[in-house]
Structure 1
Amino acid sequence: MKTRYIIPLLAITLLFSNTIFSNTISEKDPEKDRVIIYVLKNILSRYHYVQKELNDDFSEHVYNTFIDGLDPSKRYFTQEDLKEFSQFKYQIDNQLKDTKIDFYKLVYNRFLKKLGTAKNNYRSLLTHSFNYKKNEVIDVDYEKIPFAKNESELIDYWRKQLKLSILSRIEDAENQQKEKLKKDKAFKKKTFSELEKEARKEVLKNMNELYERIDELENSDWYSTFLNSIVSGFGPHTTYMSPRIKSRFDQEMSGKLEGIGARLQKKGIYTHIVELISGGPAWKQGELEPDDIILKVAQGDAEPLDIVGMRLDDAIKFIKGKKGTVVRLTVKKKIDGSTKIIPITRDVVELDETFVKSSIVEKNGKKYGVIDLPRFYIDFNDLSRRDAAKDMEKEIERLKSENVKGLIVDLRDNGGGSLKTAIEIGGLFIKKGPIVQVKYRDEEPVIKNDTDSKIQWNGPLVVMVNEFSASASEIFAAAMQDYKRGVIIGGKQTYGKGTVQNVLPINRFYEQYPSDLGALKMTIQKFYRINGGSTQIEGVYSDISLPTRYSYMKFGERDLDGALPWDKVQQAKYSALNSYSNYRDVVYSSQQRVLGDEKFNKINEYAKWLKKNQEERVYSLNYNAYKKESKVKVKEAEQFKDIFKFDSNLTFNSPKYELNLFSKDTVLKEKRIVWHKNLKKDIYLNEALNVLSELKMSKNYTIVKQ
């Protein structure tokens, strides 16, 4: 991947430096926004998987996407504004060619003005009570309702949205009062007027907090929205990442960061500690606690910087830092309100929820291993560090040492990650051979092989998926299905993201630029199974389909605007494994068990009910009518309240190596206790274990030619 881009990157860098940048390099303050636009359009036109003409259709896409991105709930712009904006509706493509951003400037400046008007609107509206006897409705399907005709109608939009929020709170408060009255006959109920006043006050508080966060956003944040309106025209997974977002992306991919190991949250003007990451520097230091407030930050022995009122992202920049450096935090302690200076030496912090973990369960006298893989993680900046493939290999070895007879690999909610690790993990279950095919624009597909003949696990294998299993998860599941190496069980089909994105730092194309321009995550390839079919749109269909709450929802790649279509290429040369002597019998047995299971049938009914509710977007704003509608829905929901209540009566335990860690790491122990309780109550995992326990490896383990 890296070598492929050396020559084109050099060529495009020279091209850029000989054009507009020759006029801006000497300037003290180059037009950064225009620079990014110019670079983006050239990268996209040259390297994106889809060739896209910048024409009127593209212009219309940017126009609609940017306006919707700023105002998704129709709270700011009116049709009068849109009439003025529309002068650019079919001109944005021409402006982009000339590296102009007049459309952005007009809409953005109008948006800032509208934000100020919005604050006045909601504050004014919430100073007095609404008419809750009036027969009127609100449609919250904001994709379909038109923008307000004028400012007067816009205020009415605001009134209805605020009124709906208040109605919901009043109803909740009345229900809470009824419950308290059941327990305490002496409890004094508040009047409707009192509850309404409190609800209005709470809505005002929430709105003020929302706009405090909005006020913290800068031009660069809104400009990122505009840039994403442009790049999304090439596909739903092509995005511009600002330097801050790129940093978060790297952190998620590697599962680690350098800092103090604490999760922070902005509450009002203060930065609060939400959680300490187990094993991190703050956790080891021992003085920082959840709900403590950070008032000041000092680097080593330098003067402290007051961060009260500072936006959270900026505060985090000062608190994070390189491994081995010291940060001194001036903290207001929750426990007694005292102020204390706490020095912490920063270190690499590993986010354990990102990493592989396993559990052992005994069923019918045999042990089975459950491996949870939340992401195909890797640190591209340091390939010597841990990654998903290395951790999986190690975890399987540990489970083998405890004599497990079968493995479940849980990929539910795994949105993907590194293709490299997906290929290597696939190789842990086969001797060698193709795992996936990848294809660049206008080129023949390239087959990616597992070249290591070692098999880490040659016993029964079940792979769990759901509608959120995507990308690299689908590559692994598809390979196991095509080789007939494992049984795929879960939702009807996985997400269906069969495209490959590469992250390109924009400064690589213009190295002279003094500040960080961010990065472009761009679709450069498509995935294809070794059987030739794409995972795009279709995803992977489960061998054993289990009903889920999402079974009838509009969900997945197939429901995204601009998603690439499904297609196929030539099948790779591979041989399916005759792994199981009773594969068809086990699958059929499970299907019959699910069809006859009362719980699964109820979940299927629940999924249909959710779909129906998803399509009902109109609410009454007459309080009595609102309560009647709500009661009907509550009554309908009542029949589903216990559908996910389940107890397998199985006991899940950590592998032995992890038990030895618990004496030193009580946080890890508590997390595993919670996880194991959830596994015990997991009806989907229970059926996966049923399947696993029934699978019998073929005595010959022969190879069947395709």
Structure 2
Amino acid sequence: MVLRGIVLVAVLGSGLFINKMSDSSLDDLTREQVIVKGITTFVDYLHYSPHEMNDEFSNEVYENYMSSLDSRKQFFLQSEVDQLKKHRNSIDEEVKESKLDFFDESYELYVQAFERTKGYYEEILKEPFDLSVDEVVEMDADKMNFASSEEELKDYWRKLLKYETVNRVLDKKNARLKGDEELTLEELEKEAREGTKRMYDRWFDNQDDLRKADFFDQYMNAVTGANDPHSNYFSPKKKEDFEIDMSGKLEGIGARLTKDGEFTKVVSVVPGGPAWKGKELEENDLIAKVAQGEEEPVDVRGWRTDDVVQLIRGEAGTKVRLVVKKPDGVMKEIAIIRDEVEIGQSFAKSFLIEDNKLDKKIGYVKLPRFYFEFDGDRRSSKDMAEELEKLKKQNVEGIILDLRYNPGGSLSDVVDISGLFIGEGPVVQVKSRDDDPHIWKDKDEKVRYDGPLVILVNQFSASASEILAAAMQDYGRAVIVGSNSTFGKGTVQRFFHLDQAFRGNSPYDDLGDVKLTIQKYYRINGGSVQLKGVVPDIILPDAYSYMEMGEKEYENPLDWTKIDPLEYDQKVFKVDNMEEIKVLSRKRVEQSEVFGLVDENAMRMKNMRDESNYPLQLEAFEKMEDKRKKESEKYKDIFPVNEELDVANLPEDMDKIQIDSSIISSNKSEIINIKKDIYINEALNIVNDLIETHSLTSVAGERDAINLKEN
């Protein structure tokens, strides 16, 4: 989670950093060494719980980085790992002195190992696989050791490639239709093996594009990640991508690109964007050259996709010219005026649900993240307020707020969104390592929505999502519904620009940013969601019920702690009959055949996940797949469409939806998915229970007085 904007704390102004830098000349250091020095300085002074620079720190960096380099143990030999182990307990000293001995040596070894295995796959796939041999491959790297010899490593690659080929043979057999040409097993194996080679050709081609700078980014993330899993280094390019992700917007042409041999291929054109409006750039066009304005085009054949993207992006209102190869081979120059592009499915969106069985009109709001623009005014809190106003115009009797899969975002926005449902009051407590807790409050007395509220969460609802769910739960303002618990991320991060650490003394500029965990946040009741998450009031079976997930699965998360509770209360709408609501829901779930199947399937998925040894004999592999297929058939299409629901877009949204056939189609699918979603369906029942059984604790006169005051 990040705070709105990029904030530097007072320690920067104190000269503390600059004094630390005066001990040695930065001119003698490489750019990478200066980055190391900047990161360690920020960590020392600002991280909530900086790891002591000792052997334990070294081991964590070593393990993190080696895992990022070769997580499947398919490149390094054990002897090469042993060679690097001499650094295992000395990385702390290297980091203190801004040395990169371990990084440099590991990179050189990785390049050699990569080239070695690149030769393996090409050689292995030249010869047919014997699919009658009874053998297995272990797919869980944690259960394996690194190969002790090149022969052993090559054999591991043979098994990996054979596994992929066996999969493809079976797919081809199952895809055969009546009337298709009958192929022999040898012919099927040959086609499958060629498909495997094409896949690995593309994979190795993409890996070849990686630069040493990309590996340095990974190493810096191993260093920052030794303090906690949410502290990371961001190169300038990665920071730009992060800002786009957080804002849901970018300035460019509105096209999704990928690498295709020497070219950059257009995968799709974003509806409503500049390229879409121009009607000239199309899916499957191959970009050969890029020109800025009237300048000479730059030949980008053979470039990395992200470098081509950087060239195409630019300020709104500026012109970019693309020389593209059309599918028929014709070369064409296309001029596009860049503009702001909204990334689909990034923003708050609402629907009106009329439940004919319950005879209720309910609002549904999907919030994908707590977004904000770094340099703009688009904010999730502002959009949420607008969605609530639109729903109120439709006279909804209750609202479902869907935070499933919402990873978090802006802290200030979650405070403002909480304030839409309550009068003024505390929302969350935030504590730095040496300070008393700071209380983030909603200071606006106005309540945007004062009716029944159900909040949907799951294991992937994290950070800001957990703050909102926890606050509404503590206030008794909403019923929280979902999986066993939310993600369990109870920490706050901020970005710090590394150039600021040197106050103009660095010989390099644009060093990137470091995102650091600088605070923990606590519920208004004094508890924390760190590791434990928010436990819903009503827990529903889901696909991950029997799997360990979330913050507690990381290697080195911060501990769970608690602080003193605050005084808090709200008189808007209080769920004062929670036990009754739970009983009503539990009865429905127990009687639901669909929820029963979901629970069964969750256990099946856990058992499948635990299996990691796969047969490579075609007959044995086919039996295993047939068994799994038969087991899965029971759970296929178990979610029926609820025909009692009428789901509609709000009138204010229709113009945006109807600009393109793809948006219209996507919207229709979204409506069908809402009608099939058993969690939304149960949330509708819970909203109905609130309406039918609940007694309001607010005083109507008080609320009217507040509204009069605001008006």
* 1:43-73 deviations in Å (ceiling 9; x for gaps): 1122111131111111111122211211111
Residues 342 and 620 of structure 1: is their aligned pair in 2 closer, same or farther, counting only changes over 3 Å?
same
Residues 662 and 120 of structure 1: is their aligned pair in 2 closer, same or farther, counting only changes over 3 Å?
closer
Give, in whole Å, the separation in 2 of the partners of 1:31 and 1:493: 46
Partner of 2:583: 588
Give, in whole Å, the separation in 2 of the partners of 1:498 and 1:520: 19
- Is 1:404 equivalent to 2:408 in the alignment? no
**Aligned-pair distance for 1:519?**
1.2
Partner of 1:327: 320
Partner of 1:237: 230
Give, in whole Å, the separation in 2 of the partners of 1:3 and 1:331: 42
Partner of 1:74: 73
Q: Which amino acid aligns with 1:201?
A: E
- Is 1:478 equivalent to 2:477 in the alignment? no
| Aligned equivalent of 2:10, options 3, 6, 10 | 6
Partner of 2:603: 608
Partner of 2:24: 20
Q: Are the counterparts in 2 of residues 534 and 566 from structure 1 also a CA contact under 8 Å?
A: yes
**Aligned-pair distance for 1:648?**
4.6
Q: Residue 295 of structure 1 aligns to a residue in which SS?
A: strand
Normalising to structure 1: TM-score of the pair? Answer: 0.94
Partner of 1:86: 85
| Aligned equivalent of 1:687, options 670, 673, 682 | 682
Give, in whole Å, the separation in 1 of the partners of 2:656 and 2:86: 65
**Aligned-pair distance for 1:471?**
0.3
Give, in whole Å, the separation in 2 of the partners of 1:636 and 1:112: 43
Mapping for residues 248-259 of structure 1, pairs under 5 Å: 248-259=241-252
| Aligned equivalent of 1:517, options 498, 511, 521 | 511
Q: Are the counterparts in 1 of residues 317 and 339 from structure 2 also a CA contact under 8 Å?
A: yes
- Is 1:635 equivalent to 2:627 in the alignment? no
Partner of 2:707: none
Q: Which amino acid aligns with 1:133?
A: S
Give, in whole Å, the separation in 1 of the partners of 2:614 and 2:661: 48
**Aligned-pair distance for 1:133?**
2.3
Residues 62 and 489 of structure 1: is their aligned pair in 2 closer, same or farther, counting only changes over 3 Å?
same
Structure possessing the higher relative contact order (Cα contacts under 8 Å, 6 or more residues apart): 2
Q: Which amino acid aligns with 2:118?
A: K
- Is 1:275 equivalent to 2:275 in the alignment? no
Partner of 2:387: 395
Q: Which amino acid aligns with 2:407?
A: G
Q: Residue 555 of structure 1 aligns to a residue in which SS?
A: coil
Q: Residue 470 of structure 1 aligns to a residue in which SS?
A: coil
Moved more, 439-448 or 211-220: 439-448
Partner of 2:619: 624
Q: Residue 368 of structure 1 aligns to a residue in which SS?
A: strand
Partner of 1:435: 427
* 1:460-502 deviations in Å (ceiling 9; x for gaps): 1111111110000000011111111111111121111111111
| Aligned equivalent of 1:376, options 370, 382, 396 | 370
Q: Are the counterparts in 1 of residues 312 and 320 from structure 2 also a CA contact under 8 Å?
A: yes
Mapping for residues 76-475 of structure 1, pairs under 5 Å: 76-177=75-176, 180=177, 184=178, 186-334=179-327, 336-363=328-355, 364-382=358-376, 385-475=377-467
Q: Which amino acid aligns with 1:64?
A: E
- Is 1:562 equivalent to 2:556 in the alignment? yes
- Is 1:498 equivalent to 2:490 in the alignment? yes
Q: Are the counterparts in 2 of residues 9 and 509 from structure 1 also a CA contact under 8 Å?
A: no
Moved more, 153-162 or 415-424: 153-162
Q: Are the counterparts in 1 of residues 8 and 496 from structure 2 also a CA contact under 8 Å?
A: no
Q: Residue 234 of structure 1 aligns to a residue in which SS?
A: coil
Give, in whole Å, the separation in 1 of the partners of 2:500 and 2:254: 31
- Is 1:599 equivalent to 2:594 in the alignment? yes
Q: Residue 651 of structure 1 aligns to a residue in which SS?
A: strand
Q: Which amino acid aligns with 2:222?
A: S
Q: Are the counterparts in 1 of residues 363 and 398 from structure 2 also a CA contact under 8 Å?
A: yes
- Is 1:701 equivalent to 2:705 in the alignment? no
Moved more, 414-423 or 3-12: 3-12
Q: Residue 596 of structure 2 aligns to a residue in which SS?
A: helix
Normalising to structure 2: TM-score of the pair? Answer: 0.94
* 1:264-298 deviations in Å (ceiling 9; x for gaps): 11122221222222322112222222222222111
* 1:596-651 deviations in Å (ceiling 9; x for gaps): 21100110010011111111101122222222222222222222223334435312
Give, in whole Å, the separation in 2 of the partners of 1:559 and 1:573: 33
Residues 648 and 470 of structure 1: is their aligned pair in 2 closer, same or farther, counting only changes over 3 Å?
farther
* 1:581-608 deviations in Å (ceiling 9; x for gaps): 6443222201211122110011001001
Give, in whole Å, the separation in 1 of the partners of 2:242 and 2:298: 27
Give, in whole Å, the separation in 2 of the partners of 1:700 and 1:63: 57
Q: Which amino acid aligns with 2:596?
A: N
* 1:86-121 deviations in Å (ceiling 9; x for gaps): 211111112222221111111110110111111111
Q: Are the counterparts in 2 of residues 648 and 686 from structure 1 also a CA contact under 8 Å?
A: no
Residues 661 and 642 of structure 1: is their aligned pair in 2 closer, same or farther, counting only changes over 3 Å?
closer
Moved more, 152-161 or 14-23: 14-23
Give, in whole Å, the separation in 1 of the partners of 2:622 and 2:7: 64
Q: Are the counterparts in 2 of residues 331 and 342 from structure 1 also a CA contact under 8 Å?
A: yes
Partner of 1:27: none
* 1:5-39 deviations in Å (ceiling 9; x for gaps): 13335524412541334543xxxxx5011111111
Give, in whole Å, the separation in 2 of the partners of 1:165 and 1:352: 34
Residues 84 and 3 of structure 1: is their aligned pair in 2 closer, same or farther, counting only changes over 3 Å?
closer
Gaps of 5+ in 2: 701-711
Give, in whole Å, the separation in 2 of the partners of 1:3 and 1:355: 24
Give, in whole Å, the separation in 1 of the partners of 2:497 and 2:160: 41
Q: Residue 504 of structure 1 aligns to a residue in which SS?
A: strand
Q: Are the counterparts in 2 of residues 583 and 695 from structure 1 also a CA contact under 8 Å?
A: no
Q: Residue 252 of structure 1 aligns to a residue in which SS?
A: helix
**Aligned-pair distance for 1:337?**
3.9
Q: Are the counterparts in 1 of residues 7 and 496 from structure 2 also a CA contact under 8 Å?
A: no
Moved more, 675-684 or 286-295: 286-295
Q: Residue 447 of structure 1 aligns to a residue in which SS?
A: strand
Residues 36 and 387 of structure 1: is their aligned pair in 2 closer, same or farther, counting only changes over 3 Å?
same
Q: Percent identity?
A: 40
Q: Residue 551 of structure 1 aligns to a residue in which SS?
A: coil
Q: Are the counterparts in 1 of residues 370 and 409 from structure 2 also a CA contact under 8 Å?
A: yes
Q: Which amino acid aligns with 1:555?
A: M
Partner of 1:551: 545
Q: Which amino acid aligns with 1:244?
A: K
Partner of 1:49: 48
**Aligned-pair distance for 1:346?**
0.8
Q: Residue 392 of structure 2 aligns to a residue in which SS?
A: helix
- Is 1:488 equivalent to 2:492 in the alignment? no
Q: In the comparison of the two structures, how many residue pairs are matched?
A: 689
Give, in whole Å, the separation in 1 of the partners of 2:312 and 2:464: 33
Moved more, 551-560 or 667-676: 667-676
Q: Are the counterparts in 2 of residues 228 and 239 from structure 1 also a CA contact under 8 Å?
A: yes
Gaps of 5+ in 1: 25-29
Give, in whole Å, the separation in 1 of the partners of 2:472 and 2:66: 44
- Is 1:572 equivalent to 2:566 in the alignment? yes
Q: Are the counterparts in 2 of residues 482 and 530 from structure 1 also a CA contact under 8 Å?
A: yes
